[in-house]
Amino acid sequence: MRAGDEATVRVREATVRRVDFGGVALFDDLGGTLEAMVRGRVMGKRKALGNAVVVGDRVTLEWEAERAAIDAVAPRRSAFSRRASGERVEEQVVAANLDLVVIVASLHRPDFKHGLVDRVLAQALGAGLPALLALNKTDLGNAEETAALLADYQPAGVQGIPTCGITGLGVDALREACRGRRALFVGHSGVGKSTLLDHLAPGHDLVTGDVNDHTGKGRHTTSAAVLLRPEPDLEFIDTPGVRAFGLWGIDADNLAGHYPEIAPHLGECRFADCRHDREPGCGLHAALERGDIPARRWESFLRLRAELLAEQQARPRYGGR
């Protein structure tokens, strides 16, 4: 459906595909798109959109003449958040009603960073969402490196798909893994996320989410995300590349619970207050020695826990959720 056909049907319900300064871009359930403004009371006390309406939200519309307005937002069956950037400790809901988080990382250029991947993974698991690791730029390394990295994430239950944005390797496997599941794509900038999405949603403008064949003038998005729906059962949410990913609702004390290969061993330590450092009878170290916890995941867990501890100490009024 083209822009000119918009709003010919006064739909009552729609799905948010993009949040702009002036309004919200939506998908109706009939294969079309439309725009709507947001009622003040939906925005809450601060009269700012904030987290009130996010990509993936299901909304109810009211019509005034030819103008649609979002009147209500349905409860979210899932949501993926991060800590908003900036000094204040604030939640940023990135997207809602998701089924899968696709973590895009590159083998090299930029080098694979366990820190970022493991943060996003912990956040996904905390939201109750399964995660998939798309390991891109596999042309820049060898097969052993690729296999070893993906193997590190198997005990955590993360499906790994090696990809190459240049040859298109792995793109079909990635598409089929996402089919029927609304998939949020998250990754460090430069890893090839846009390149992969160009393969997965050909012809879509990754800033606006629009199909490229009509010349809509560029708009400024406040949204951190855009929902692409290249086929009725394929939905990808693109997000801007992140440089740092701040966790939300996860702190040094509950971090281990967000590592599926570490959590089951938490009750196996001799001492109930075990810090899993050098205590005798530590169940986590035993699991590490048996190989049940991959060494690189353990090292990244320790680093991340130390970072969170330092953040918490620098900010004594940290409230988490």
Ligand X SMILES: Nc1nc2c(ncn2[C@@H]2O[C@H](COP(=O)(O)OP(=O)(O)O)[C@@H](O)[C@H]2O)c(=O)[nH]1
C-beta neighbour count of 286 within 10 angstroms: 14
Helix, strand, or coil here: 85?
coil
Give the Cα separation of 298 and 280 in Å (integer).
Answer: 18
140 binds ligand X (CB under 6 A): yes
CB burial of 114-131 (b: ≥16 within 10 Å; e: otherwise) equals: bebbbbbbbbbbbbebeb
Binding segment toward Zn ion, per CB under 5 A, in 25-33, 81-89, 116-124, 264-272: 264-272
137 binds ligand X (CB under 6 A): yes
Chain positions 170 to 209 lying near Mg ion, rule: CB under 5 A, are 194
- Can you list the alpha helix ranges (DSSP code H) found in the chain? 40-43, 114-126, 143-152, 171-178, 193-200, 283-290, 295-314
Q: What does the CA dihedral 194, 199, 203, 208 come to, rounded to 10 degrees? A: -30
Chain positions 153 to 182 lying near ligand X, rule: CB under 6 A, are 164-166
Residue linked to tokens 């061993």: 265
89 binds Zn ion (CB under 5 A): no
78 binds Mg ion (CB under 5 A): no
Q: Which of 139, 268, 279, 311 binds ligand X (CB under 6 A)?
A: 139
CB of 11 to Zn ion, least distance (A): 55
For 7, 63, 136, the CA distances from 10, given in Å and listed in that order, are 6, 7, 42
Chain positions 113 to 172 lying near Mg ion, rule: CB under 5 A, are none
- Asked whether 245 and 115 are in contact (CB, 8 A), the reply is no
C-beta neighbour count of 216 within 10 angstroms: 11
Helix, strand, or coil here: 257?
helix
204 binds ligand X (CB under 6 A): no
Closest residue to Mg ion, judged by C-beta, is 194
286 binds Zn ion (CB under 5 A): no
Pick the closer one to ligand X by CB: 78 or 223.
223
Q: Which of 17, 82, 193, 285 binds ligand X (CB under 6 A)?
A: 193
CB of 186 to ligand X, least distance (A): 10
Q: Which of 284, 288, 293, 304 binds Zn ion (CB under 5 A)?
A: 284
174 binds Zn ion (CB under 5 A): no
Pick the closer one to Mg ion by CB: 15 or 194.
194
Pick the closer one to Zn ion by CB: 83 or 276.
276
Give the Cα separation of 181 and 186 in Å (integer).
Answer: 15
Binding site for ligand X (CB under 6 A): 136-137, 139-140, 164-166, 187, 189-195, 241
Residues that bind Mg ion (CB under 5 A): 194
